[in-house]
């Protein structure tokens, strides 16, 4: 029998990678829509290859489809070639499973993974025929709900969403769906349902909250419309990662995607407390999955997908307390099945080198270090917890293990950075190169000389980090610092073996505005979308001038969000959200950064961040 596809054959034959859109992949879930009560669309607002690699969607897709009354389908942003065709031929955006219009769904859930996807959200809504502004929607439209890291400051996109789910998705969706079914059965209005939803823990309904501003544009107050909805919304958290949903039969794509492998999430949270890192704060406290749980899932996932690689997922895999036991099990089990093991986020120590020599063709790949800053002074400021000796020792272990290629990741524009710290990037690269020549005798350099790639991104202050108070560098500052980095590298004795690459400054500027923005940015995003801005995260499609025109036309000054030092007691647009880490703790860390004082990691000493109130994970059992 012919499989139905929303796109005519002549369209599929005319576009790049038509397999992005046809569905019917292995392990995709199909249900009889006449026998279900709720249809939920899970959308990743980027191209299929990126969205199919997202573990969060895989977990929620599995969870929703375990509900007998619910059918969850997937949606991705059409690539630019299909976007053009769909507009010209008035083809509505469709789901992967049923290939039916998105507008037919009850819910449209959109994952907010990074700020530069915001215009793609409008692309999805527009192509679906859903009004872009939430207050213009009726029961003929799906409830549009957002979740993911960027929902921790939802204000720049508040006008486009009916609901935001703050925190981890496994805990409250069942309750939300039940309220929805009851509300529809009673014939309630859309606003009546949203009012009921706003009382569910973790739910934020933007239309029921009004921001008030001071004359200097800073936020004065954030006022709820009803007495029975919270003034502050506490994030949702899974307290036991062994007693929750985890997919055993994830969808297997027909084409190669970014993460074309089985993914094992071994833990959530991070003990380190780097002051620039949002994930390290919002996912606290650290919670680990048991080795028994992970062994069971690994075997089932490999069997049910046919993938030939398995990867461990966490913010810092080396900090998983049973990493050696788990990895040794995987080596024994996966080697028999000729399955490769990918081990990202490992510290480079003797154990890591020994393991990676066993599981990968390591001599053909690079090893990655993320010092983040070139000088010890700056690493103390950002609380990286890494010395130059640690980095050099790790590199030497890698060289002795046979690696000759090293990638080093740094940030430029960190708070309190000086030119001497930038010079430290070049000096550190040179020291690593020198360590290679000292550690490896000439006759043993079978793979030739060492190759070092230094990559710099530009620091962007994020909400719920100690650096949320920081001033961001201008694009001119970034370009000057990138040029200075290149100059210092060219001054080094080993400069011929050091390659330097850096990111675009204009895109970083926009990300900085969107990250710490408020609700007044919604009209700017809408204006930029109407000027043709989509896929802003892709440099070939980014239209900087269109964004600048939109800021000007909307009367919004982007400098206000980037180049202004925040007062200690300023009310931030995201302060109505409680991420578990207290603002008092973040402010203490901000002041310690100014003094270059290092804070111990969570296993060494509790810093009193506020996450102990969740009564789980490392806060009660040390892991």
Which tens digit of pLDDT belongs to each residue from 11-35?
Answer: 999 999 999 999 999 999 999 999 9
pLDDT for 259: 81
pLDDT at 302 over 90: yes
Q: How far is Cα 60 from Cα 63, in angstroms, rounded to an integer?
A: 5
Average pLDDT over residues 402-416: 93
Arithmetic mean of pLDDT over the chain: 94
Domain range summary for the chain, segments of one domain joined by +? 9-234, 237-360+578-623, 365-516
Where does the pLDDT of residue 150 fall: very low under 50, low under 70, confident under 90, or very high at 90 and above?
very high
Q: If DSSP codes are grouped into helix, strand and coil, which group holds residue 207? A: helix
pLDDT at 622 over 90: no
Q: How far is Cα 254 from Cα 267, in angstroms, rounded to an integer?
A: 29
pLDDT in tens, 234-244: 999 999 999 99
What is the total residue count of the chain?
623
pLDDT for 334: 77
Q: How far is Cα 88 from Cα 103, in angstroms, rounded to an integer?
A: 19
Tokens of 357: 């020599």
Residue 208's CB is within 10 A of a number of other CB atoms, namely 16
pLDDT for 308: 86
pLDDT for 398: 86
Q: Distance between the two ends of the chain, CA-based, in angstroms?
A: 52
The structure tokens 């921790």 sit at: 152
Q: How far is Cα 123 from Cα 414, in angstroms, rounded to an integer?
A: 34
Beta strands in 102-218 (DSSP E): 107-111, 143-147, 163-165, 203-204, 209-213
- Give Dmax (Cα) for the chain: 81
pLDDT for 360: 60
pLDDT for 363: 45
pLDDT in tens, 255-291: 988 888 999 999 999 999 999 999 999 999 999 999 9
pLDDT for 337: 77
Q: Which CATH class is domain 237-360+578-623?
A: alpha beta
Pure H helices in 491-604: 505-515, 522-530, 544-553, 559-562, 583-595
CATH of domain 9-234: 3.40.50.280
Pure H helices in 408-530: 419-439, 475-490, 505-515, 522-530
Residue 29's CB is within 10 A of a number of other CB atoms, namely 16
Looking at domain 365-516, which CATH architecture does it have?
2-Layer Sandwich (3.30)
Q: How far is Cα 360 from Cα 376, in angstroms, rounded to an integer?
A: 32
pLDDT in tens, 322-362: 998 999 899 888 777 778 887 777 777 767 777 777 766 54
Q: How far is Cα 161 from Cα 175, in angstroms, rounded to an integer?
A: 19
Beta strands in 317-398 (DSSP E): 340-342, 367-372
Answer for the pair 149, 112: CB distance below 8 angstroms, yes or no. Answer: yes
* Two domains, one topology: 9-234 and 237-360+578-623: no
Tokens of 528: 């930029």
């Amino acid at each position: 029998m012919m499989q139905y596809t929303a796109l005519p054959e002549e369209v599929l034959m005319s576009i790049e990678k038509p397999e992005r859109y046809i569905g019917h992949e292995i392990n995709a879930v199909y249900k009889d829509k006449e026998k279900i009560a709720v249809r939920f669309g899970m959308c990743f607002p980027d191209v299929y290859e990126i969205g199919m690699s997202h573990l969060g969607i895989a977990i929620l897709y599995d969870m929703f489809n375990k509900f007998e009354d619910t059918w969850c389908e997937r949606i991705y942003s059409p690539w630019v070639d299909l976007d053009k065709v769909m507009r010209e031929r008035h083809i509505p955006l469709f789901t992967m499973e049923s290939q039916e219009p998105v507008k037919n769904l009850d819910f449209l859930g959109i994952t907010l993974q990074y700020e530069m996807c915001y215009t793609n959200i409008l692309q999805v809504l527009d192509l679906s025929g859903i009004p872009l502004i939430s207050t213009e929607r009726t029961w003929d439209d799906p409830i549009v709900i957002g979740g993911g890291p960027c929902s921790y400051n939802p204000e720049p996109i508040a006008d486009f969403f009916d609901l935001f789910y703050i925190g981890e998705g496994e805990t409250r969706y069942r309750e939300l769906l039940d309220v929805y079914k009851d509300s529809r059965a009673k014939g309630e209005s859309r606003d009546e349902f949203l009012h009921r939803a706003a009382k569910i823990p973790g739910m934020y309904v933007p239309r029921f909250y009004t921001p008030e501003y001071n004359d200097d544009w800073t936020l004065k107050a954030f006022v709820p419309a009803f007495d029975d909805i919270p003034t502050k919304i506490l994030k949702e958290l899974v307290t036991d990662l062994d007693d929750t949903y985890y997919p055993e039969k994830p969808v297997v794509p027909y084409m190669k995607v970014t993460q074309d492998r089985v993914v094992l999430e071994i833990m959530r949270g991070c003990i380190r407390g780097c002051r620039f890192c949002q994930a390290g704060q919002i996912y606290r406290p650290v919670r680990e999955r048991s080795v028994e749980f992970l062994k069971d899932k690994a075997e089932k996932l490999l069997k049910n997908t046919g993938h030939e690689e398995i990867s461990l997922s966490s913010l810092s895999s080396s900090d998983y307390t049973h990493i050696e036991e788990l990895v040794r099990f995987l080596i024994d089990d996966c080697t028999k099945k000729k399955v490769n093991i990918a081990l990202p986020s490992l510290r480079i120590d003797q154990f890591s080198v020994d393991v990676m020599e066993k599981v990968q063709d390591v001599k053909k790949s690079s090893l990655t270090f993320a010092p983040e800053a070139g000088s010890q002074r700056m690493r103390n400021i950002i609380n990286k917890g890494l010395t130059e000796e640690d980095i050099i020792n790790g590199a030497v272990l890698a060289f002795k293990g046979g690696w000759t290629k090293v990638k080093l990741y740094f940030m430029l524009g960190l708070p309190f950075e000086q030119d001497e710290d930038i010079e430290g990037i070049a000096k550190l690269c040179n020291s690593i190169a020198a360590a290679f020549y000292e550690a490896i005798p000439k006759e043993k350099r079978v793979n030739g000389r060492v190759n070092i790639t230094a990559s710099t991104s530009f620091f962007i202050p994020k909400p719920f980090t100690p650096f949320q108070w920081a001033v961001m560098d201008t694009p001119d500052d970034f370009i000057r610092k990138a040029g200075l980095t290149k100059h210092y590298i060219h001054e080094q004795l080993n400069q011929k073996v050091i390659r330097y690459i850096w990111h675009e400054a204009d895109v970083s500027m926009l990300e900085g505005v969107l990250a710490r923005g408020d609700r007044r940015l919604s009209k700017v995003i809408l204006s930029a979308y109407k000027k043709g801005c989509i896929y802003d995260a892709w440099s070939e499609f980014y239209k900087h001038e269109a964004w600048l025109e939109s800021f000007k036309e909307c009367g919004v000054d982007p400098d206000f969000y980037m180049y202004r030092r925040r007062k200690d007691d300023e009310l931030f647009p995201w302060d109505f959200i409680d991420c578990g880490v207290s603002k008092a703790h973040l402010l203490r860390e901000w002041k310690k950064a100014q003094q270059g004082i290092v804070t111990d990691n969570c296993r060494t000493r509790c810093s009193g961040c506020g996450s102990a109130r969740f009564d789980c994970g490392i806060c009660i059992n040390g892991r």
